[in-house]
Chain A
Amino acid sequence: MELALQYEVQESIGRHAEEAYPDECCGFLFGEDGDIRRISHVRRATNTRTENRGRRFRIDPDEYRRAEKFAVDNDLDLLGIYHSHPDHPAEPSEHDRSVALPFFSYIIVSVQGGTTSEIRSWRLNGEETFDEETITFLSKQVYATKPISK
Chain B
Amino acid sequence: MATIHIPTPLRKFTNQNRILETGKTTLSGAIEHLVEEHPGIKKNLLDDNGHIRSYIKIYVGDEEVDPLENGTLEIGEETEISIVPAIAGGTNNEY
Contact B85 A93 (CB under 8 A): no
- Is A37's CB within 8 Å of the partner chain B? no
Q: Which residues of B contact A93 (CB under 8 A)?
A: 89-92
Closest Cβ neighbor of A103 among chain B residues: B9
Q: Which chain A residue has the least Cβ–Cβ distance from B18?
A: A72
Residues of B within 8 A of A55 (CB): 90-91, 93-95
Q: Is the CB of A64 within 8 A of B9?
A: no
Contacting residues, chain A, for B12 (C-beta < 8 A): 102-103
B8 contacts chain A at the CB level, 8 A cutoff: yes
Confirm or deny: A21 has a beta carbon within 8 angstroms of a beta carbon on chain B: no
Contacts A61-B59, A61-B64 given; does A104 touch B89 at CB 8 Å: no
If over half of B's interface residues share one DSSP class (helix, strand or loop), that class is named, otherwise mixed; here it is mixed
Cβ of A109 within 8 Å of any chain B Cβ, yes or no, is: no
Total A-B pairs, Cβ < 8 A: 93
Q: Is the beta-carbon distance between B8 and A96 smaller than 8 angstroms?
A: no
**Of the 9-residue stretches A7-15, A78-86, A112-120, A134-142, which lies at the interface with chain B?**
A78-86
Residues of A within 8 A of B84 (CB): 61, 64-65
Q: Is B38 an interface residue (CB 8 A)?
A: no
Interface residues of A in 12-54 (CB under 8 A from B): 24, 26, 45, 52
- Shortest Cβ distance from residue B67 to the other chain A in the assembled complex, whole angstroms: 14
Closest to A83 in B: B89
Q: Which of A94-138 contact B (CB under 8 A)?
A: 94-96, 99-104, 106
Closest-by-CB residue of A relative to B84 is A61
Q: Tell me the bound Cα distance from A68 to B91 in angstroms.
A: 26
- A95–B93 alpha-carbon span in the complex (Å): 9
B29 within 8 A of A: no
Given A55-B95, A102-B44, A103-B11, CB of A64 within 8 Å of CB of B87: yes
Taking CB atoms, residues of chain A closer than 8 Å to B92 are 93-95
Q: How far is the CA of A21 from the CA of B81 in the complex (A)?
A: 37
Binding site for A on B (CB under 8 A): 5, 7-12, 18, 44, 55, 57, 59, 64, 82, 84-95
Q: What are 22 A-B pairs with beta-carbon distances under 8 A?
A: A26-B87, A55-B90, A55-B93, A55-B95, A56-B94, A57-B89, A58-B86, A58-B87, A68-B8, A85-B90, A92-B89, A93-B89, A93-B91, A94-B92, A95-B90, A95-B91, A101-B9, A101-B10, A102-B9, A103-B12, A104-B8, A106-B89
